[in-house]
Amino acid sequence: MKKNSQPSARNHRTRQRLRIGVDTGGTFTDFIVISKEQQFTFKVPSTPRAPAQAILTGLARAFDELRADRDASPEILLEIVHGTTVATNALLERKGARTALITTAGFEDVIEIGRQARPDLYNLSVTRPAPLIARELRFGAKERVGADGEVIEQLRQSEVKALVKTLRQAEVESIAISLLFSFANPEHERRLAEMLAALDVPISISHQILPEYREYERTSTVTINAYLAPRVSRYLQELTAGLAQSLPKQQASQLRIMQSSGGSISAETAAREPVRTILSGPAGGVVAATHVGALAGCADLITFDMGGTSTDVALCRGGARTTNEAQITGLPVAVPVLDIHTVGAGGGSIAYVDAGGALRVGPESAGADPGPACYGFGTRPTVTDANLVLGRFAGGGLLNGEMTLDEFRAAAVLDQLAAEMSRASGTVVTREEAAQGVIRVANANMEQALRLVSVERGHDPRRFALVSFGGAGGLHAAALAASLRIPRVLIPNYPGAFSALGVLLADVSKDYSRTVMQVVESGSKLPRTIEQEFHVLERQATADLQAEGFTTAQSRLLRSLAMRYRGQSFELEISAAGDPLAQFHQAHRERYGHADPQRAVEIVSVRLRGVGLSEKPVLPRAAQLKRHKAKAQREALVWLDGKRKRVSVYDRAELQPGATIAAPAIIVEYGSTTLVPSGWKAAVDGWQNLLLDSVRSLA
């Protein structure tokens, strides 16, 4: 690996820019390091109980690899962009802060009542998720603002003073404020926040987090933000303090956090608005997939990110799609997020026989501690153990031999599972049959997720490419593509750290919105007030981006409209460029199968995304593409299609652009392993992507 060779004399030092992408996963924390001279990736084990520790350990390793003598290094401006799971885990595990909710009197129970929608219509034993805030910590303020913003009942200062005393006695750690129609007139929310500031706890205000209508979704979103704020803020403070202590004095650092919407924000903003980081890690993978897919000529793609704990999938047709209708653990999150579907199936997903005798895989995961049995500490069979028993790691370890795999321990837990399956079925099940069963069940779970984002939404998966990444994705991608008749699988360079690459590719972005409720009759132009509302949001976005250090030339302002036919309950987000009405009718036809151009359209909200264009990593491309047959490194015995077969093994680091690989084959690399089964052809393109093409689709 090329080392830094800059002169050490202080008077010759020049400040260099070093960018590091960090993605914290359930099993590993991934790093990609990009400097002027080098570009490399590596993994360190995640530390779930203290996530910052794994990051600081990885940063120390990055500096060790960049240069041997830190004191002799040039001055460095270090930019770290971080995809984090702290907010996600706190919400999933219900380990947030003791939070109080203040809303308009009479609406204290809105987060518990919710909507009357019943996703499981025929389930007679549905258990709804409990609200994040207990009833005794939900308070109603005697005030009222009308739907037009007119004050109907003034907020009383004496009542707020009494509320401050009550909240202090309740020892709340965070406060959410969501008053009725505050998006039309936020004055009462502002006054409440000013007086409650005396409690010295984080305060989340709905007109700042989500100034849009729909009381339940707005209150749920601001409640989640308040619930997460203390924990995320502490984490980022610990990480920032750790960076300050561990970095040499001549180095300046900047920390950004990946948002769920596919852009990054400053650590300070993330600490105030952690609800925007709930899908922080998975968002990085989607950003990287759309970027690399476009370079490879695959504009329409389905992303498949299989890690140690879960699998995240998204359909990107010409680009990543965002939504304001996401739900996390049954709770609505109405800020913009990438439209990602997550299923509890990963390399660490635990396999077991349920009470009815059926084989199940996940959603429980072995995680990083204790991890799969083959990592040396786990005691229950996982998907990774099943792949190892079937020989799909080609007799090697992980991370280029840095991590050995315990084959005997994996075999022992699969033997236990086989015995349970034998007792349940009344027939003898071998170790290998049990392992193949685990793979089939895990694939079925992931296939269902892929079908949900494609077939169930009216998209033909045969028209898409499957972009597979994550440490475990390459072993399952071809089988899943075959099930859905997807003709091509693209496995990018650095698949094991692809989300870390994505956070570096992401621009800085800030989202703004305002509810307007403007009706446009058929054949009419957009109301002039829409343009006025955009100007207000654009002034705010420009100021915020300038505060982040972006000039006008480095900034982009993207307008969109939330639109629906008058009388409908839900909207479609449409670009405000061109003819929004025509675009809306077309989008409605694509989504629902029909459109009515003669019907009046309602513009519910105006939305603006302010984008600060960040420096992008330069991905290498081969000047020439000379086709040649790759040379196998060795052979391995692998169970495929119920039989043990001799399979060629290739080292991806030795595969040059233009190389072709005959199936069946296993391709090993630092962060991942790829299985190329019979019926597929593999080749390396000019961007060093591994392309798997179905022989059937080529026929």
The pLDDT tens digits of the residues spanning 587-607 come to 999 888 899 999 999 999 999
DSSP state of 688: S
Give residue 397's pLDDT band: very low, low, confident or very high (50, 70, 90): confident
- Check whether residue 538 and residue 592 sit in a common domain: yes
Using a 10 angstrom Cβ sphere, with 0-12 exposed, 13-18 middle and 19 or more buried, the burial of residue 665 is: buried
Of 20, 15, 226, 199, the residue nearest 103 (C-alpha): 226
Q: What's the token pair of residue 472?
A: 């475990």
Answer with the residue of higher pLDDT: 69 or 248: 248
pTM of the model: 0.90
3-class secondary structure, 665: strand
Residue with tokens 């900047």: 254
Residue 142 lies in a domain: yes
Q: What is the pLDDT of residue 263?
A: 95
Find the Cα–Cα–Cα–Cα dihedral 507, 510, 511, 512, rounded to 10°. -150
Q: What's the token pair of residue 90?
A: 């706190």
- Check whether residue 227 and residue 239 sit in a common domain: no
Q: In terms of DSSP H, where are the helices of 471-604?
A: 477-484, 498-505, 528-547, 580-592
Number of helices and strands in the chain (H, E): 17, 35
Half-sphere exposure of 271 (CA within 13 A, CB side): 16
12-21, 33-42, 550-559: least confident range: 12-21
Give residue 72's pLDDT band: very low, low, confident or very high (50, 70, 90): very low
Q: What is the pLDDT of residue 139?
A: 97
Of 213, 194, 211, 212, the residue nearest 203 (C-alpha): 194
Q: What is the pLDDT of residue 485?
A: 96
Residue 383 lies in a domain: no
Say how far apart CA 459 and CA 165 lie, in whole Å.
Answer: 56
Mean pLDDT of 610-624: 90
- pLDDT tens, residue by residue, 186-202: 999 999 999 999 999 99
Residue 618 lies in a domain: no
Mean pLDDT of 6-27: 66
Answer with the residue of higher pLDDT: 236 or 125: 236
Of 210, 263, 207, the residue nearest 607 (C-alpha): 210
- pLDDT tens, residue by residue, 23-63: 998 788 999 999 877 889 999 989 888 999 999 999 989 88
Residue type, 177: I
- Whether the Cβ atoms of residue 429 and residue 421 lie closer than 8 Å to each other: yes
Say how far apart CA 230 and CA 203 lie, in whole Å.
Answer: 10
Mean pLDDT of 337-349: 92
- Check whether residue 213 and residue 247 sit in a common domain: no
- Check whether residue 104 and residue 252 sit in a common domain: no
Helix axes 498-505, 280-295, angle to 10 degrees: 80
Q: What is the pLDDT of residue 13?
A: 46
Give residue 67's pLDDT band: very low, low, confident or very high (50, 70, 90): low
Answer with the residue of higher pLDDT: 246 or 548: 548
Residue with tokens 């391995």: 636
CATH code for position 177: 3.40.1360
Instruction: Please state, for a pLDDT cut of 70, what percent of the chain lies above it.
Output: 95
Give residue 249's pLDDT band: very low, low, confident or very high (50, 70, 90): low
3-class secondary structure, 290: helix
- Check whether residue 578 and residue 657 sit in a common domain: no
Q: Which domain holds residue 572?
A: 507-612
- Check whether residue 127 and residue 114 sit in a common domain: yes
Residue 206, CA distances (Å) to 181, 252, 631 in order: 10, 35, 60
Last residue of a domain, one of 471, 504, 537: 504
Give residue 620's pLDDT band: very low, low, confident or very high (50, 70, 90): confident
- pLDDT of 150 > 60? The answer is yes
Q: Residues with Cβ < 8 Å from 518, sequence gap 6 or more?
A: 526, 527, 529, 530, 602, 603
- Check whether residue 490 and residue 568 sit in a common domain: no
Residue with tokens 């405000």: 576
1-5, 59-63, 283-287, 644-648: least confident range: 1-5
Mean pLDDT of 467-489: 96
- pLDDT of 71 > 70? The answer is no
Q: What's the token pair of residue 656?
A: 């040059």
Mean pLDDT of 559-579: 94
Beta strand segments in 339-419, E: 341-343, 349-353, 359-365
Q: What is the pLDDT of residue 156?
A: 94
Average pLDDT taken over every residue of the chain: 91
Our measurement of the distance from residue 228's CA atom to the centroid of its chain's CA atoms, rounded to an integer in Å, reads: 17
Angle at 163 between CA 162 and CA 165, to 5 degrees: 65
Q: What's the token pair of residue 393?
A: 């790691």
Residue 391 lies in a domain: no
- Check whether residue 46 and residue 122 sit in a common domain: no
- pLDDT of 387 > 90? The answer is yes
Residue 67 lies in a domain: yes
81: enclosing H helix or E strand: strand 76-83
Residue 371 lies in a domain: no
3-class secondary structure, 660: strand
- Check whether residue 224 and residue 237 sit in a common domain: no
Say how far apart CA 314 and CA 457 lie, in whole Å.
Answer: 12
Q: What's the token pair of residue 690?
A: 């591994």
- pLDDT of 70 > 50? The answer is no
Residue 486, CA distances (Å) to 319, 346, 680, 694 in order: 18, 21, 12, 8
Answer with the residue of higher pLDDT: 3 or 211: 211
Say how far apart CA 139 and CA 203 lie, in whole Å.
Answer: 15
DSSP state of 363: E
- Check whether residue 43 and residue 55 sit in a common domain: yes
Mean pLDDT of 641-670: 94
Of 358, 298, 311, the residue nearest 452 (C-alpha): 311
Residue 208 lies in a domain: yes
Q: What is the pLDDT of residue 318?
A: 85
Q: Residues with Cβ < 8 Å from 616, sequence gap 6 or more?
A: 504, 505
- pLDDT tens, residue by residue, 277-325: 999 989 999 999 999 999 999 989 999 999 888 899 999 998 899 998 8
- Whether the Cβ atoms of residue 606 and residue 530 lie closer than 8 Å to each other: yes
Residue 263 lies in a domain: yes
Give residue 14's pLDDT band: very low, low, confident or very high (50, 70, 90): low
Mean pLDDT of 381-395: 96
Mean pLDDT of 2-24: 58
Q: What is the pLDDT of residue 5?
A: 33
Q: What is the pLDDT of residue 78?
A: 85
Say how far apart CA 614 and CA 281 lie, in whole Å.
Answer: 18
Our measurement of the distance from residue 296's CA atom to the centroid of its chain's CA atoms, rounded to an integer in Å, reads: 22
Q: What's the token pair of residue 446?
A: 């992931």
Q: What is the pLDDT of residue 11?
A: 37
Indicate if the alpha-carbon torsion angle 64, 66, 70, 72 is positive or negative: positive
Number of domains in the chain: 5
Say how far apart CA 24 and CA 47 lie, in whole Å.
Answer: 9
Mean pLDDT of 135-161: 95
Residue 608, CA distances (Å) to 534, 559, 585, 597 in order: 7, 5, 21, 25
Q: What is the pLDDT of residue 52?
A: 93
- Whether the Cβ atoms of residue 23 and residue 80 lie closer than 8 Å to each other: no
Answer with the residue of higher pLDDT: 5 or 89: 89
Last residue of a domain, one of 504, 524, 557: 504
Angle at 331 between CA 122 and CA 497, to 5 degrees: 110
Residue with tokens 């996940």: 362
Q: What is the pLDDT of residue 211?
A: 94
- pLDDT of 3 > 70? The answer is no
Q: What is the pLDDT of residue 73?
A: 52
What is the three-state SS of 129-164? CCCCCCHHHEEEECCEECCCCCEEECCCHHHHHHHH
Give residue 422's pLDDT band: very low, low, confident or very high (50, 70, 90): very high
- Check whether residue 103 and residue 224 sit in a common domain: yes
CATH code for position 313: 3.30.420
Q: What is the pLDDT of residue 696?
A: 76
- Check whether residue 148 and residue 188 sit in a common domain: yes
- pLDDT tens, residue by residue, 358-378: 999 989 989 878 899 999 999
